[in-house]
Structure 1
């Protein structure tokens, strides 16, 4: 079987949210699995020397982002709230929930998607334990078990390891996909990834 597509992401990234359904569709079409790898974006920005928090970016880039978000959402045939109630939010809790689910052997596509939509559509606070538990339950997983597992050292260690791995592959921000060792940065590179999968 072909190697999985590595997906480096954070649920608080709107671009990660805009990537997830298209990436899942690509994986299904080309008989690939997705390796979900939440990373510490603040650390990757700092250590790679690239990227910065939204509020630190030049105003012209902040303004253009607000043009791009609804435009890309329409292109991807999905919905997005460009000014969500709980943004910015810390990414750790949502990432840890996904890693805890992975470590318990769960398929995390639906959970990851629901956490992203929690932030970018449903006006939920994905840095709040009650809201995250609600999202976990909404996809049929046991919130009590996962919320307890989040506290395990192995969960934080895995996110650190994901970040180490991402940096070693040239990843500096999210979303980033690595297909057969080749890095594609940004949800706007998904069509190029299809081109590569088609043998180009």
Structure 2
């Protein structure tokens, strides 16, 4: 059994566009892909988007929609955005209840070896068009579909949030130690593969290392 780590942000559309395909790879091939959630750049570097080229946002919007169309992946703007931000000023709010909750849930799921499944299910809610994905039983349903007890996850997030955040910070450091900084990045055998367009290449490398079907 081969092993790999997938560094993932619940706010990253490209992470969402990649995670389902990585989940399918892990379910059909002899590779264990461990989810390593990280907080998004909007949290770690609030001025990142202000420093980008003016064309960055327009191009990114165009590209992520066409990727979803080409791959047949449901896609729609998140409602609400996992990041609380003033649209007019682009100011990132100090309090970030949505992204902190879902990222901690993702790390709690990763502790149980079900992080990849949870990220795929929750990502589909956030980026697949579910309105008010953070309310009601949306996330509970995602957890159930991922084979997890949501009440148990919620209790762990409430009781162990600081330790979960330390693990999430360690994930970010491990990503940087592996040679990259962005998501989605799969690290296999010490080699980083950044972007949703590197999945075939990552699989090719795994096949060189003996990847087989389950």
| Aligned position for 1:98 | 106
1:7–1:177 contact (8 Å) kept in structure 2: yes
Cα distance in 2, alignment partners of residues 195 and 132 from structure 1? 34
2:74–2:129 contact (8 Å) kept in structure 1: no
| Aligned position for 1:166 | 175
Match of 1:57 among 52, 61, 70: 52
Cα distance in 2, alignment partners of residues 88 and 198 from structure 1? 36
C-alpha change, 1:179 and 1:139, in structure 2 (3 Å) is: closer
SS at match of 1:164: helix
SS at match of 1:110: helix
Worse-superposed segment, 23-32 or 90-99: 23-32
Residue-by-residue CA offset, 1:101-152 (whole Å, 9 max, x unaligned): 233x252333211211111113345666875445435555332221110130
Asked if residue 108 in structure 1 is aligned to residue 115 in structure 2, the reply is: yes
SS at match of 2:55: helix
* Structure 1 residue 27, shift from structure 2 partner: 2.9
1:92–1:127 contact (8 Å) kept in structure 2: no
Q: Which stretches in structure 1 are left out of the alignment for 5+ residues?
A: none
TM-score by length of 1: 0.81
Asked if residue 86 in structure 1 is aligned to residue 80 in structure 2, the reply is: yes
C-alpha change, 1:39 and 1:97, in structure 2 (3 Å) is: same
Cα distance in 1, alignment partners of residues 43 and 79 from structure 2? 26
C-alpha change, 1:193 and 1:138, in structure 2 (3 Å) is: closer
Number of residues of Structure 1 aligned to a counterpart in Structure 2: 192
* C-alpha RMSD over aligned residues: 2.7
1:44–1:171 contact (8 Å) kept in structure 2: no
2:11–2:40 contact (8 Å) kept in structure 1: no
